[in-house]
């Protein structure tokens, strides 16, 4: 049986550090504040918003919301971002994406000030992931994967890692973060030939394909660590990952469950970034 890498254990440890930083900030008269901007009524945005709001409350971080209609104009949304950029009491901003099709997402994303970009929405923040410079913040989900590896003492140095998925939100930054941890990294995607053999070579596999059950028993072997980023709904309406858990878990050494794995850590990473943004502002 594989060791379960549980999000709640990682989150508990992260939350302790965040609470200590919040206390320090409050001692200096600063209230770390997240501003969530939501356009429209997408159920998955609303669900993530609920989780983030609750986590902020638990950790003593203020959470403000700006809710805009689905037909908001480009000018109105840009004006909103300009306002939060200039608002000194807001330390971090989360804008749900994808945005409705009539909006120019690239222009809107890059309008946010990098120092408030707590989920790596701007090109400037993403450049920080690749250059190693402290510009903005890394994306929360791949960072949550790294937090899980760190928490459970899974050393990446010299290890072979495979990332399945090449999105800019998860796959590509996850690969760069693994390189930073001295792993030798391969990125797989829809055009990869013989993905099971490639995945089997790896010591660590991060799966972010967005396809339920894409990784089955033929992808894995004994000794591997599997981090499942996927969030899908199966035929019975239940939440499931990209990994066929029932088939893979008996074979590998360690695995994250879905739900109960990466997702919950992501929320704490986000709140941690808001607090870090406030600390950078206070401490310079
Ligand atoms: P995406 O659709 O933008 O990208 C998926 C990537 O996987 C693409 O690069 C695509 O080429 C690749 N891919 C798709 N099918 C594949 C296949 N059969 N084999 C190999 N590669 C394949 O998705 P994303 O935003 O990167 O998210 C990936 C998954 O992670 C989704 O299930 C999403 O819901 C989930 N997610 C979870 C969290 C979290 O906090 N746990 C956060 C963000 C996304």
Ligand 1 binding pocket includes 171 (Cβ within 6 Å): yes
**Structural domain spans, the chain:** 29-114, 140-263
| 107-130 pLDDT per residue, tens | 999 999 999 999 999 999 999 999
Mean pLDDT of the chain, nearest integer: 97
Residues tagged in the binding site annotation = 165-167, 231
- Mutational test site, ligand 1, from 52, 120, 229, max ligand atoms within 8 Å of CB: 229
ipTM for this prediction: 0.96
CATH 3.40.50.880 for the 140-263 domain, yes or no: no
258 in contact with ligand 1, CB cutoff 6 A: no
Fold of 29-114: Rossmann fold (3.40.50)
Cα of 258 from ligand 1 centre, angstroms? 14
- Whether residue 206 is predicted with pLDDT greater than 90 in this model: the reply is yes
Q: What are 218-231's pLDDT values in tens digits? A: 999 999 999 999 99
From residue 63, alpha-carbon distances to 19, 28, 31, 145 in Å are 15, 19, 10, 24
Ordered strands of the 92-95 beta sheet: 62-68, 33-39, 92-95
Q: Which helix (H) or strand (E) holds 93?
A: strand 92-95
- Is residue 77 within 8 Å of 108, Cβ to Cβ? yes
As a dihedral over the C-alpha atoms of residue 119, residue 125, residue 126, residue 128, rounded to 10 degrees, the angle is -120
Q: Residue 147 and residue 156: Cα distance in Å, rounded?
A: 12
Coil, strand or helix at 192: coil
Percentage of the chain lying above the pLDDT 70 cut = 100
> Sorting pLDDT into bands at 50, 70 and 90, what band is 284?
confident
Q: Encode pLDDT of 43-99 as tens digits.
A: 989 999 999 999 999 999 999 999 999 999 999 999 999 999 999 999 999 999 999
Decide: helix, strand or coil at residue 187.
Answer: strand
Domains 29-114 and 140-263 share a fold: yes
């Amino acid at each position: 049986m594989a060791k379960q890498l549980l999000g709640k254990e990682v989150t508990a440890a992260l939350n302790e550090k965040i609470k200590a930083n919040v206390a320090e900030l409050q001692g200096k008269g600063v209230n770390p504040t997240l501003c969530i901007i939501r356009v429209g009524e997408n159920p998955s945005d609303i669900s993530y918003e609920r989780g983030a709001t609750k986590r902020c409350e638990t950790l003593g971080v203020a959470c403000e919301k700006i809710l805009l209609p689905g037909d908001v104009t480009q000018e109105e949304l840009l004006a909103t971002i300009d306002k939060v950029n200039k608002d000194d009491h807001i330390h971090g901003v989360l804008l749900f994406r994808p945005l409705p099709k009539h909006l120019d997402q690239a222009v809107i994303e890059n309008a946010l000030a990098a120092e408030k970009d707590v989920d790596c929405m701007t090109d400037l923040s993403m450049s920080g992931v690749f250059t190693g410079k402290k510009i903005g913040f890394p994306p929360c989900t791949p960072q949550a994967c790294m937090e899980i590896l760190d928490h459970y003492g899974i050393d990446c140095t010299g290890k072979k890692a495979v990332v399945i998925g090449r999105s800019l939100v998860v796959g590509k930054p996850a690969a760069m973060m693994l390189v930073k941890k001295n792993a030798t990294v391969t990125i797989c995607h829809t055009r990869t030939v013989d993905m099971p053999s490639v995945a089997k070579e790896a010591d660590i596999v991060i799966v972010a394909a967005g396809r339920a059950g894409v990784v089955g028993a033929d992808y894995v072997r004994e000794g591997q660590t599997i981090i499942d980023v996927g969030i899908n709904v199966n035929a019975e309406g239940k939440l499931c990952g990209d990994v066929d858990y029932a088939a893979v878990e008996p074979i590998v050494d360690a695995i994250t469950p879905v739900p109960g794995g990466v997702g919950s850590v992501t929320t704490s990473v986000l709140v941690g970034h808001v607090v870090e943004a406030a600390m950078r502002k206070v401490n310079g």
